[in-house]
Structure formats: C-alpha cells, structure tokens
Amino acid sequence: MKHTTPSPTTHPTPTTRPASTTRPPSPTRTAPPTRRPLSSAPPTRRPTHPTRATPTPTARPTQLGLATRHQLLRSGISPSTLTRRTRAGGPWQRLLPRVYLLQTGPPSPRQRALAAVLYAARPDADPLAGTTAALTGGAALALLGIRDAPPTPLDVVVRAPRRVAPLPGVRPVPTTRWPATMSVTGVPCTRPLRAAADFAARATDPALVRSVLANTVQSGWCHPADLYAELRSARLLTRPAVAKAAAELLAGVRSIAEAHARDALAATDLPTPLWNARLYAADGTFLASPDAYWPDEGVALEIDSAEYHYTRDAWHATLRRRLRLEAHGVLVVSATPSMVRDIPHEVAAAVRALLTLTTPRPAPPTATARGHQQLPLPLPLPTRLA
C-alpha cells in the first residue's frame, strides 16, 4: 500500500474576524464619580421661576445723575462699595444725607434742587412723583424763570406727619394741606400759585415780596384773583407787605416799576388811573395796553425798561405802539423805571401837564378801555379770615 503523506490544508486568512472571536470595544475611561461626604448637605436646586429684575446701580436718567441710599442698596450696591466710591477722589459724591451724586465735578443748581427733594421724600416712595416732597417757594419760582425769585434757600414741602431735619440751605416745610405738583426740568415742584404763597410766607424783604408776586402774575403763571385767594387761605393777608402786593395786583399793577409809579401818583392829587387796561379802536381792533391810563382824559403812561427795549425790533415795536395810540387821540407820557424811582415828581408833573391840556379838548380819544376794574386802594385789611 502506497503510503502518502497528507498535504497540509491551507486555510484562507479572513478579512474580518468571526463574531464569536471579535473583541468588544474598550470602554472609554472616565473619572470615577466624586463621592460626596456623608456630612455635606444636598445640592440646592435653582428656582425655575424667573427672578425679579433689579434696577441698575446707577440713577435713572430722569434723576439727573442722583440716587438715594435706599435706591442704591436696593439695586445691589453694598454699603462697603458705597462707602468706597464716595471717598475723597472717588467717582461719587455725597451731597446730602442719604443722597449721592453719581458723577465727579460740582453739581448744577437743578441737581442741588432735586437733591433737596430726594432728601425730604419718603425713602420707599417714588421721589419724582411729587407725592411726599416737592420744591416750593422762591426756588421753585426760579426754576420757572420768574424774575427776582431767589434760587436759595431750597424750601421743600413735606407731607405730614413726616418730619425732616433742616440742613444748611434746605428748609423742609411740613404741611397737611398737600398741594398739586408739577415737574419743572425734572424737579418735582408745587404749582406757581402755591410756590408764590410759600415764598411770601417766609420772605422778609417787602420789596422782594412785591417784585416776585408781580413778576409771577406778569409771567402768566397765575391770575391775580387766584393768587389773592391763595394768600387769603394761607392767612398771609395779615402781613402788610403781602396785603399791599396783593392789592396792587388786583388793581392791575404787573411789575415793580408800575408799583413804584402807583406810589408816586398816589402821593399826588391826580386822579386814579386804570392799570394795564386794554385799549381798542372803534372797530374792535386792539391798540395797546399801557401801564397806566386815564380814560376820561385819554392820557397814558408808558414805563419802558431798557432791558426789554434795547434791540432794534423791540424799539420799533414800542414806537409803533405809541403811534397807534396817538393816531387814536391818546397822549402818551414815557418814562423809565429809574425815572419813576429817582425823579417821581417829574413824572407826575408830566402826567399833570397832559391831563390839564385835555380839559378843553374838542375831540376826545377814539380808544375804548377794557380790562381791569378799578378798585379802591389800598384795600382794607381783613380783620377775620375764614
């Protein structure tokens, strides 16, 4: 028997390993979880509800770069940060107790006025609403542009029973008769009627009271009858200076120069004129409103200040007004406030001369006076106020 050696069997090399022999992929190595100590507290979960938005740490633009301590702390500024930022050389300044100016450099008059309101307002109230504190008196009138109104001291009405300590230049005025307020260039203020009465209540200069009250009415911020009623309700007519100024306004006087002219004429035997009466032509055309007018004689007194007539257009307007009056038979006496103050006898003599010339006048003036009703002056002071 033939012996044969079996040939070795050749097995093809597979391209892939059988499933039974494929190695499983090595798992990705990760760091073992950190075990929390048994004594540590469980992690706190963040609330799912939206958090309330907090105001920015800077003041609102309408607060003129000012903020109170209450507002800054509520916006997230810590007391230590507030102290650090208001140190010497810091970016903020402490103007008044609990009131800060969030800028460098000196504050403006408006910022000082608003700072006084922020100081006096209740901390938890909106200081710009004018419901717990508001600027009043001469400072409020000065913001309105009333001539001669003193911008200081800063009088601030405070709603009673809240009490605020006075500071140098800041005078809180507690009141139970809360007034209507308005915003003047971003500062809460009482309305001109109340501001004028509050000014008259604290002013000590009779001439200043006379001038400020007259300029308030002349600027159109209130009517003389309304101002008289406000002064009466505030029980200020028992003061001679206030009563005299109010009586002049009721009679038609609208400026301190006219008040001086009235004093000069009252010291003579001249008839009492109408003040600021409106003159109309026969066809109803408005002619002018002279400072003083004697309707029976057709004589007018015009007090022209250089401050209001120094421009070419203003001077031409003054001349045209006089031409209209003279064209309708009205004789005009012209004077300046300094003439009325320094040489009142010469002004009165000029008026007397024209009044005398009109006595045998064949042609009366064709102008008709309308406006203020002439009241007997001085008005009697009230003995008992309601």
- Which residue type sits at 287? L
pLDDT more than 90, % of the chain? 57
55-85 pLDDT, tens digit per residue, is 444 455 579 999 999 999 999 999 999 999 9
pLDDT (0 to 100) of residue 313: 77
pLDDT at 165 over 90: yes
In this prediction, residue 307 carries a pLDDT of 53
With a cut of 60, say whether residue 377 has pLDDT above it: no
Q: Report the alpha-carbon distance of residue 78 to residue 66 in Å, rounded.
A: 17
The span from the CA of 281 to the CA of 286, in Å, is 6
Position of tokens 């006898």?
A: 345
In this prediction, residue 238 carries a pLDDT of 94
* Residues 17-44: tens digit of each pLDDT: 444 444 555 544 555 555 555 444 555 5
- Let me know: does 184 contact 176? Beta carbons within 8 Å: no
Summarize the confidence of residues 45-60 as an average pLDDT.
45
The rounded Cα 130 to chain-centroid distance in angstroms is: 11
Q: Regarding predicted confidence, which is higher, 207 or 383?
A: 207
Q: Tell me the pLDDT band of 258, cut-offs 50, 70 and 90.
A: confident
Q: At what angle do helices 224-233 and 192-202 cross, to 10 degrees?
A: 50
CB 112 within 8 A of CB 143: no
Residues 263 and 342: their CA atoms lie apart, in Å, by: 12
The predicted structure's pLDDT at residue 371? 61
List the CATH code of the domain at 256-370. 3.40.960.10
Say if pTM beats, i.e. exceeds, 0.75: no
Using DSSP's 3-state secondary structure scheme, residue 240 falls into helix
pLDDT at 35: 52
- Residue ranges covered by each domain of the chain: 109-251, 256-370
* 242 pLDDT above the threshold of 50: yes
**Of the candidate ranges 167-176, 291-300, 311-320, 329-338, the one whose mean pLDDT is the lowest:** 311-320
> Phi, psi (5° rounding) for residue 192?
-55, -35
